[in-house]
Amino acid sequence: MLRHKALAKIKQLEILSTFMKTAARGQDPRDIPRHVKDPEFLLRGNPEFPEHDQLGFRNRSVPRRAPLLVVGDSQVYGACVRAEQCWPFLLAAGLEGGVYNAAMEGWGAVQYAMITDELLGLAPDQVIVALYAGNDIYESFLCARRSTARLAGSFWDPAFEDLAFPDLSVKQASDRAVDRAFEAAPEAGQAEVLAEMSRAGVPDCGLAEIEASRFYLTENFRLAVQDQAQPAICAGFKIAERALSHLGALSRNYGFGLSALLVPTREYLVYTRLSEARVRDRETLVRLGRAEQETLARLAGACENLGIAAFDLSEHLRHYIGSRIFPQDSRDGHPNAKGCRIIAEYVKTRVLPKMQKQTARGIYPLY
């Protein structure tokens, strides 16, 4: 364990040194990118970005020790809220000891395994891995295929090499259409532009209304990266399961408790209450809902087989989907400040009390 701590610290210092050498000086903070390209993680947080610590994560500083390590993507990072509003920060406020937010947008299960491996030097007692149904399976396939890291390569199978990526042409076309619409009417507000695009039938800009909530769904994109009829997505599941197996082995051998938090998409939450909602593209939403139900079930099953406690947020959050827990009049599917408060409370009251610390059994061969 001491050797692993030393190696992890050396790796952290190498990352920090590399970023600091290339950091832009004298830049307006608004021009500093939130993340930088990395050959192993594909993307890493930029230590120069405001609100980031020395390792590029969204914490005030890097602690000597982190009793609770939270790993995830932009859903955990808090992509549409301030640092003090993201749910790991809120969780820390009510707990003794520290919570370290080790999340970055664009990550999936492969990066979760890699960063947990790297941050063992923080000697966590507990680790929560937040698995986002929305695109983590696709991101797992992408990282294992493109990463130069040995650990990522150990999850890859040469039989996957010729598999085509999912077709994201609908997402790309809708994103371009949105950009053009805002450029053509810079004086118009977001709500006005998106409402017009929904009326025009632009894909992934469909208005959804339920109770007090009003937002625009991206169901075609979410379906494309969860459709298990797509070979790359099937491969992504196998890769994600291997990454979870690695996390389970780390938990047993380094003595920390491990739980998985299964995070649904905003679209899936609407699907679970479809009889109460008004949506434009009901057919696609139903297809997505069924696909995501399979995604969540398969992730839960993989966790159960590996002895990892899994907590599905879907049933809890579905009760709140109509109460503005996501940005309104927006395509953004990240929880807002209210949504983050609800997730933090769920983790505090339902996840942490059930987490047990493991007893270390030895040294796990990392690769």
In this predicted model, what pLDDT tens digit does every residue of 147-168 receive, in sequence order? Answer: 999 999 999 999 999 999 999 9
Q: What is the pLDDT of residue 364?
A: 44
Q: What is the pLDDT of residue 6?
A: 52
Burial (CB count <10 Å: 0-12, 13-18, 19+), residue 200: exposed
pLDDT for 359 beyond 80? no
- Which own/partner contact pairs does 41-46 have at CB distance under 8 Å and 24+ positions apart? 41/104, 41/107, 41/111, 41/114, 41/115, 41/143, 41/147, 41/149, 42/106, 42/111, 42/142, 42/143, 42/146, 42/147, 43/104, 43/105, 43/106, 43/107, 44/15, 44/104, 45/104, 46/19
Q: What is the pLDDT of residue 366?
A: 46
Question: Would you say residue 109 lies in a domain?
Answer: yes
Distance in angstroms (rounded) separating the CA atoms of residues 230 and 294: 14
Distance in angstroms (rounded) separating the CA atoms of residues 297 and 95: 31
Distance in angstroms (rounded) separating the CA atoms of residues 81 and 331: 15
pLDDT for 280 beyond 80? yes
Q: What is the pLDDT of residue 31?
A: 80
Average pLDDT, the chain: 91
Domain that holds residue 278: 2-23+30-165+220-354
Q: What is the pLDDT of residue 363?
A: 47
Backbone angles phi, psi at 136, to 5 degrees: -65, -35
Question: Would you say residue 258 lies in a domain?
Answer: yes
CA dihedral sign, ordered 258, 310, 303, 296 = negative
> Who has greater pLDDT, 38 or 10?
38
Q: What is the pLDDT of residue 109?
A: 98
Q: What is the pLDDT of residue 95?
A: 78
The number of distinct structural domains making up the chain is 1
Q: What is the pLDDT of residue 365?
A: 46
Question: Would you say residue 231 lies in a domain?
Answer: yes
In this predicted model, what pLDDT tens digit does every residue of 73-117 receive, in sequence order? Answer: 999 999 999 999 999 999 998 777 789 999 999 999 999 999 999
Least trusted range by pLDDT, from 21-30, 71-80, 269-278, 308-317:
21-30
pLDDT for 16 beyond 70? no
Question: Would you say residue 59 lies in a domain?
Answer: yes
Question: Would you say residue 50 lies in a domain?
Answer: yes
**Tokens coding 26:** 């004298």
pLDDT for 120 beyond 90? yes
Burial (CB count <10 Å: 0-12, 13-18, 19+), residue 283: exposed
Question: Would you say residue 298 lies in a domain?
Answer: yes
Burial (CB count <10 Å: 0-12, 13-18, 19+), residue 162: exposed
pLDDT for 346 beyond 70? yes
pLDDT for 20 beyond 90? no
CA 354, chain centre distance (Å): 22
The average pLDDT across 191-218 equals 97
The average pLDDT across 264-268 equals 98
Tell me, what DSSP letter sits at residue 279? E
Question: Would you say residue 322 lies in a domain?
Answer: yes
CATH at 298: 3.40.50.1110
In this predicted model, what pLDDT tens digit does every residue of 36-71 receive, in sequence order? Answer: 999 999 999 999 999 999 999 999 999 999 999 999
Tell me, what DSSP letter sits at residue 35? E
Q: What is the pLDDT of residue 7?
A: 53
Q: What is the pLDDT of residue 358?
A: 60
pLDDT for 356 beyond 90? no
Cα angle 231, 233, 234; round to 5: 65
In this predicted model, what pLDDT tens digit does every residue of 286-330 receive, in sequence order? Answer: 999 999 999 999 999 999 999 999 999 999 999 999 999 999 999
Closest CA to 72 of 130, 152, 127, 138: 130
CA 107, chain centre distance (Å): 6
What is the tally of helices (H) and strands (E) in the chain? 14, 10
Question: Would you say residue 194 lies in a domain?
Answer: no
Share of the chain above pLDDT 70, in %: 89
